[in-house]
Chains A and B, each alone.
Chain A
Amino acid sequence: MQLTINGQLQSFDGQMSVQQLIECLSLQDKRIAIECNGEIIPRSKYPEQILGEGDQLEIIVAVGGG
């Protein structure tokens, strides 16, 4: 399955949930927020939301800024 994450195309084996993707990217326990195809995914939905072919994801963090 191909996903676009933060503008980059990435390939993954088989179907997976948002939670599984986060673990795959070693982002568990990180303070992040995720948008899928322009919609925010609430944290509570990570285990149940299954990703589909071609989904566009944005994974964001807080950084220093003014």
Chain B
Amino acid sequence: MDPLVIAGTSYSSRLLVGTGKYKDFTETRAAVEASGAQIITVAIRRTNIGQNPDEPNLLDALPPSQFTLLPNTAGCYTAKDAVRTLRLARELLDGHSLVKLEVLGDQQTLFPDVVATLEAAEILVKEGFQVMVYTSDDPIVAKRLEEIGCVAIMPLASLIGSGMGILNPWNLQIIIDNARVPVLVDAGVGTVSDAAIAMELGCDGILTNTAIAGARNPVQMASAMRKAVEAGREAYLAGRMAKKIYQASPSSPLEGIITSTSNTIANN
């Protein structure tokens, strides 16, 4: 066993998945199951008043009794809105305090506003929330968020929903090396190799939504993503070979190679 431990709770899966952008809740459920994820993110939104009282509810498809729900603050552009959203989420989920904080700073790039994120994190930690925080890949900001008391640091690999992959493995490596809480890549994973690369670097986990929901076959991609995260983790633990730049090294023994004693080679 090699569990992911967040705020004292152990999880066997290192893949966290989002629940947005699926065709319907049946597909969401099937993809979540195929991913093996135990922690799944949800968004908090105003309910439709007076419209279709029989409208299916996400929490019926993915009940909190079976999954650890991670309410997010997607779409919040101020610390105040993010804090308010998570207070409502805590009430909705019967006092559940593990949350994903994100405070965005720009509608085009969805880059996090790290100043507002720090501000919100401080308030939420004081109020007893266990904060998993989405941030840029700035190692100093990551450190500050950890010092505030966030239980996991979740730097972007590239822009939310872009699928552009790991753009700056060097910064991620610095964040991983310096962190004493789990580091999860959140945002930017486009396909399984991106997840594997992040895990090989030593990330503790991956959070992805669009890479799965946006695939032609989301359920199959969810299954593939599960394997990639597991494979990347195992490779990290196994410790990769050293890279030897411009230095070939044969895998087969040099002794006993069949060599010709003359320069004559039979025609065949």
Q: Which residues of A come within 8 Å of B, CB atoms? A: 5-8, 10, 25-27, 30-35, 38, 40, 42-43, 58-66
Contacts and interface: CB of A to CB of B under 8 A. Distances in A.
Given A60-B88, A62-B71, A65-B72, A32 B58 contact: no
B124 to A, nearest CB: 14
Contacts of A34: 91
Interface of B: 18-22, 25, 28, 41-47, 49-50, 53, 57-60, 69, 71-72, 74, 84, 87-89, 91-93, 160-161, 207-210
Contacts of A64: 18-22, 25, 28, 42-43, 58
A43 B91 CA distance: 8
B89 to A, nearest CB: 7
Contacts of A42: 91
Given A33-B92, A62-B59, A27 B18 contact: no
11 contacts: A6-B46, A27-B53, A31-B60, A60-B46, A61-B44, A62-B69, A62-B71, A63-B42, A65-B20, A65-B41, A66-B18
Contacts, number: 105
Q: Give the 7 A-B CB pairs with smallest separation, nearest first.
A: A65-B43, A66-B18, A66-B209, A33-B92, A64-B19, A33-B91, A6-B46
A65 B69 CA distance: 11
Nearest to B52: A26
B74 A62 contact: no
A31 to B, nearest CB: 5
Contacts of A35: 84, 87-88
Contact of A31 (B25, B49, B92, B208): B92
A59 B210 contact: no
A37 B89 CA distance: 17
